Structure 1
């Protein structure tokens, strides 16, 4: 008896992934120095996330990679070949890059098929149709091939934009805040689908985002920008567990920050004394503690060693977690904690608090990003 065969899911064509490198990139808009000596490499087949606040230079760097504008100085190379430099500038259509913008940029007067086929004008019509339909099938929208963008949901339009960017099989795909236009309910599923498609096509991808969690979900590596400079790069784990400044730590987690002075290897704060060996006595420090690093439980008759008393000022249920604001002795500064929703009984006001060591970070107060 013949075995039933599992139907194969249509696959997007595989790209020839390229290395894209920025070498000492500077960009000026008049007197404004937007990018300040950026050097960064996106490795073949890697998903690199450019992360940072608004105005940090993320989108400007992406536009330079795409060839939508030219840097003031520095070089951009692809697989070691110069594509933008002092005497060289390849236009976007000669760079083998796919572009996906924040607003999807679909042509409203064109069908989905024609939108996806738009970048395949160098192919024979039959080949362009075949490649466009393969990309549309891969994002699950074959039944909408003849529809127009206005009849699609935001998530479906995002998938069309992805199909259009991938249809020419680019070596590098550039994505500018690709999920910011989606509601929270859709974002997780569409992001997971996009990640799966990027892995399958094997293209090098550079994704711009201002959301640290999104960068951690998607990126093989993350480059965090601030004021036109890369302040730290690495894997999500490397940056989260080893932030090099208070700015970096605060971008990846909600923090409580206390001023302290080192004394005999100890930094005293209202919620505990912490090891600061390695800092000279009298050093001014910022002690940063992640809100998820506080253990909070109902107060008993005896205060356990290493714990301090606290009182709940406000308590907000957030589904799987609760956000607490706490008052503690010795300071008017409120302490914030994020705990599991089932950790404290309803109505509890008096609590005891202690801090997990792995969620304590120390920075010198003269760190200008503090």
Structure 2
């Protein structure tokens, strides 16, 4: 899809009809597959009208949790509660169509033999045919694709197919919309604009949205709150600022930015690293600590810094440069990400500094801050 066509679609887009946002809660959810535990006691609530991102690496349990919410998978223990009503538990199981949930799959799951309009009205079986057609056309117009109603999915670009899938999921006005890696198949040039458009539609519809992604930047762009998962467990949940500024462990710190890692032992309430000293927080003296410093927090200057260093490699990335730096007392290079052209060409000997508050300290055994 061209940028001109995208601009035209935006101009023709209607305001999205408002849904009645629901609250969805996972209560001590466990799940196993072929004897292997995939979800390990997750409790989490998506509040009405918020965008909650389930973030984590492959195999962390994100999609399984989404499928449990939808009623496609059944948990081995725990409950799914929607607006205070048990949807799935020890004695209750509501089928997917009874939960007031919309589901948008990673591959969009459009029917190739159906027109775009018929794809969107596929889930409107409770409405008379005439009303279903009107609702489907309205949903297509909300995402700027009303003029594509008679086309078939193969004639659409990936971004347009994504918007058709979004229209189909929102057409029944669900209280909760579940989205599984909805932007993973899109061209990187269009991903940002399609993601922004989708977020606008979600805000207009006011539906509660739970979005699965493995991309930390994508979660930060979209989410009101992020739930970070690892190995079927909930590592940390909070706002974007909370997870970035106050990571609970080394895994959380590394998931949101590239880091330099060091080992240290707490002494006098402090840790000492090749990049300087920092308070150890609540960790007792003698505790073995894992220390992290984000690449963007390493300040590099020709002179005046606290530590002498030598540039081993320098990679220009457009807006920024990535540096590998050799410093005394450390075999592995320290990495830094700085604004491009901040340092003169050909410069080798530099100095570096890191503010104490930018040195993140965690207990090494448990990696808990």
Match of 1:165 in 2: 169
Indicate the SS of the match to 2:54: strand
Query: 2-side partners of 1:150 and 1:94: how far apart?
Result: 31
- Pairing of 1:200-279 with structure 2 (within 5 A): 200-276=204-280, 278-279=282-283
1:118 aligns with 2:117: no
Query: 2-side partners of 1:281 and 1:73: how far apart?
Result: 41
Q: 2:53 aligns with which of 49, 52, 57?
A: 49
CA contact (8 A) 2:20 2:174 kept: yes
**Shift of the alpha carbon at 1:131?**
0.8
Query: 2-side partners of 1:358 and 1:89: how far apart?
Result: 49
Structure 2, gaps ≥5 residues long: 1-10
CA contact (8 A) 1:35 1:57 kept: yes
Query: 1-side partners of 2:47 and 2:368: how far apart?
Result: 29
Q: 1:83 aligns with which of 80, 84, 87?
A: 87
**Shift of the alpha carbon at 1:231?**
0.8
Structure 1, gaps ≥5 residues long: 1-6
Query: 2-side partners of 1:327 and 1:183: how far apart?
Result: 38
**Shift of the alpha carbon at 1:277?**
5.5
Query: 1-side partners of 2:14 and 2:233: how far apart?
Result: 41
Deviations 1:67-100 (A, max 9, x none): 1011111111110011101111111111111110
Query: 1-side partners of 2:320 and 2:153: how far apart?
Result: 38
State the TM-score, normalized to the length of structure 1: 0.94
CA contact (8 A) 2:220 2:240 kept: yes
CA contact (8 A) 1:247 1:369 kept: no
1:347 aligns with 2:351: no
Deviations 1:239-294 (A, max 9, x none): 11111111111111110011111222332211222232643332211111011101
Match of 2:133 in 1: 129
Query: 2-side partners of 1:53 and 1:13: how far apart?
Result: 34
CA contact (8 A) 2:248 2:368 kept: no
- The count of residues paired between Structure 1 and Structure 2 equals 359
1:281 aligns with 2:285: yes
Indicate the SS of the match to 2:226: strand
State the TM-score, normalized to the length of structure 2: 0.94
Query: 1-side partners of 2:188 and 2:357: how far apart?
Result: 30
Deviations 1:213-242 (A, max 9, x none): 111111111111111110110101111111
**Shift of the alpha carbon at 1:65?**
0.5
CA contact (8 A) 1:284 1:365 kept: yes
Residues 363, 190 of structure 1: alpha-carbon distance in 2 compared, 3 angstrom cutoff = same
Match of 2:326 in 1: 327
**Shift of the alpha carbon at 1:369?**
7.9
Query: 2-side partners of 1:8 and 1:101: how far apart?
Result: 26
Residues 241, 195 of structure 1: alpha-carbon distance in 2 compared, 3 angstrom cutoff = same
**Shift of the alpha carbon at 1:368?**
5.6
My pick for the range that moved more, 110-119 or 358-367, is 358-367
Q: 1:178 aligns with which of 182, 200, 218?
A: 182
**Shift of the alpha carbon at 1:340?**
0.8
